[in-house]
Amino acid sequence: GAGVSQSPRYKVTKRGQDVALRCDPISGHVSLYWYRQALGQGPEFLTYFNYEAQQDKSGLPNDRFSAERPEGSISTLTIQRTEQRDSAMYRCASSAGTAGNTIYFGEGSWLTVV
């Protein structure tokens, strides 16, 4: 695609429910990243993949958060048993190479837990 595509753009869920956020990176991009951005703050790193391999998940807040990229393209970030503190913008990004520093961000998925 032309850019990084994320869905849903907006998600309201009740506390305790599981949510899945989808990211479709720029076609051909090898690396895929997940960030979380609270209102008025900069993005905070969660995890990243090279191809289908999850290389670094040190930013995931706890074990309720997981991510996968089974075929090296589309990725899903899953939050289990959501809590109000999980409310934030979740941004996906991708880059062309495994060592490249130019990453391209999507427009994000805004999650509200009520």
Partner 1 sequence: QQQVKQSPQSLIVQKGGISIINCAYENTAFDYFPWYQQFPGKGPALLIAIRPDVSEKKEGRFTISFNKSAKQFSLHIMDSQPGDSATYFCAAIHTGRRALTFGSGTRLQVQP
Provide the binding-site residues for partner 1, judged by CB under 8 A: 4, 31, 33, 35, 40-45, 48, 55-56, 58-59, 91, 93, 99, 101-108
Which residue's CB is nearer to partner 1, number 4 or number 113? 4
**In contact, 108 and 37? CB cutoff 8 Å:** yes
Which one, of 68, 60, 62, 111, lies nearest residue 86 by Cα? 111
Taking the complex as a whole, the smallest distance from the CB of residue 65 to partner 1 amounts, in Å, to: 15
Which residue's CB is nearer to partner 1, number 35 or number 65? 35
Which one, of 37, 66, 32, lies nearest residue 49 by Cα? 32
AA letter at 58:
S
Which residue's CB is nearer to partner 1, number 59 or number 72? 59
Taking the complex as a whole, the smallest distance from the CB of residue 84 to partner 1 amounts, in Å, to: 22
Taking the complex as a whole, the smallest distance from the CB of residue 110 to partner 1 amounts, in Å, to: 10
Taking the complex as a whole, the smallest distance from the CB of residue 15 to partner 1 amounts, in Å, to: 26
Which residue's CB is nearer to partner 1, number 83 or number 107? 107
Q: Is 84 exposed, middle or buried (0-12, 13-18, 19+ CB in 10 A)?
A: exposed
Q: How far apart are CA 68 and CA 52, in angstroms?
A: 8
